[in-house]
Structure 1
Amino acid sequence: MANSTHAHLRYNILDRCFRQKSYGFDKLLEVVNEEIAELYPGEGIATRTLREDLKVFRNKETGFGAPLPEKIRVLKYTDPNFSIALRPLLEYEQYLMNAAQQLLNRFENHPKYNKLAEALIKFQDEEELENEASRILLYDHNEEYKGIKHIKPLYFSIRKKQVLKVTVQGFKDTESKTFEFHPHILKQYNRRWFVFGLNNTEEIQEWSIPLDDRLLGYEELKEIDYIEATTNWENFFRTMVGVVKPKDAEIEKVVLRFYNGREKYFKSKPFQPDFEEFFEEEKQDQVWFETIINKELVQQLLSYGQDVEVLEPERLKLQLKEQAAALQQFYSS
């Protein structure tokens, strides 16, 4: 059996290497040790351990069954779509998952445990229940979303304070753009992920990049010093709905009146967490909050249909009126 020390880390490094490019054995050993040393200074593996890891990758019964031909000098998957992330857990990995769950049980009364427990349950449900008819959890997720593959490398780019050369192309753009980017934070909204940071090429402090097909690629710019964030991201997102902040946007007071008891739904799952209620008895169906006006706010309001009315500000009322008029054109005949 392969050396279990940092095995999960080694396997992920090797999987990425085999998917991205061809490696000779000696170069592969060098890359693996460099990445291990970044997280565990002074540590690494020997030639024997790497050879054992390759056996685990190739073994179809007790390993990953990877498309990694033997007796060739170049190491790379013959199937570019293969990844060990798509394979069932190995026996020792399942043992670690069970051990992790038992460890987390010690903290079941701690508020932070709830999210950890949810993540573990979701993972095990996907891993163990292959029959859809016997599935226990049906949670909201985007099966077509491909941006999840960017989260881990960008997370470590932020942790390691790496400057990136990023190439993006909007859905309506005819050409791509490349710029120097200093990533600061990852944010999820509406089942999509975004990375925020400094676009130093265009000198924009709070630049956002959606992690989807618009992100064409990125690589580290090692010769450039990383610039720390000056933005308080907690406050940045608390003053807006969603992730898009229009240029020169200002915070405004928004007052909403709900109908058909929908204020109860809003209060149990508010799209703006810092909302306030009115003390007056006749205003118990109303709430107010301070935010910027953007497309995501309008979209959330439209999701309530005829069960919400914007009382102020006036310009937000006008935007909703324009949206209603545009919808009426589709159904006027």
Structure 2
Amino acid sequence: SYTFPIAPYCLKMFQKRWYVFALSINEDRLRIYGLDRFENIEITKDHFKFPSDFNAKDYFSSFFGVVIDEDIPLQRIVVRAFGAHQHYMRSLPLHLSQKELYSCNEYADLELTLRPTYDFIMELQSYGTMIEVVEPQSLRQIMKCCISDLCRLYEAPMMK
């Protein structure tokens, strides 16, 4: 463990864990820290100027969760939810930007606008065959590679 100063901007809950979004003073960049990893917190007498234009809801609106990668461009993503899972996706949207484009008995196409970060891709994978990424092709390819890697893992004999 080590000690470092931060200038906290906000708290965020994601996947039943609390995170603090803060300016890392030593690195001079915004970072997110899992509060469950902190051993001790000390409030110092040092002050910082909170940016008057910072709005947590706006900042996080282009991200799925707590993986913050501004190098990943904002994208239009279309996900197809099959069978009864379309009702689940309606009642518990993946993201605030989610809109329904089309639905029938077999499936529903849902549009999201966000940056497809690692945590979003992991969430998509957790739905298995209940969903399919329709667009963009680049995200379909990422999903395909992840699925291929998973298949190879289970095709190989288990190491003891």
Structure 1: how far apart are the matches of 2:43 and 2:102?
Answer: 54
**Aligned counterparts, 1:15-26, within 5 A:** none
- What does residue 150 of structure 2 align with? 327
CA separation of 1:221 and 1:242: change in aligned 2, threshold 3 A:
same
Q: Which amino acid aligns with 1:253?
A: R
1:200 is the counterpart of 2:25: yes
Q: Which amino acid aligns with 2:64?
A: V
**Aligned counterparts, 1:1-333, within 5 A:** 169=1, 176=2, 178-204=3-29, 206-212=30-36, 214-222=37-45, 224-229=46-51, 230-278=53-101, 285-332=108-155
- Alignment partner of 1:326: what SS? helix
CA separation of 1:327 and 1:280: change in aligned 2, threshold 3 A:
closer
For structure 2, the residue ranges without an aligned partner over 5 or more in a row are none
Larger Rg: 1
TM-score by length of 1: 0.43
Structure 2: how far apart are the matches of 1:226 and 1:218?
Answer: 17
Q: Deviations over 1:182-235 (max 9, x none)?
A: 11211111111101121122111x3211011x323332221x222214422101
Tell me how far 1:269 sits from its aligned partner. Answer: 0.7
| Pairs aligned (count) | 155
- What does residue 48 of structure 1 align with? none
Q: Which amino acid aligns with 2:31?
A: W
Tell me how far 1:293 sits from its aligned partner. Answer: 1.2
Structure with bigger helix share is: 1
For structure 1, the residue ranges without an aligned partner over 5 or more in a row are 1-168, 170-175
Tell me how far 1:244 sits from its aligned partner. Answer: 1.0
Structure 2: how far apart are the matches of 1:219 and 1:245?
Answer: 25
Structure 2: how far apart are the matches of 1:247 and 1:292?
Answer: 8
On the 8 A contact 1:253/1:312 being kept in 2, the answer is yes
CA separation of 1:324 and 1:192: change in aligned 2, threshold 3 A:
same
Q: CA RMSD in A?
A: 2.2
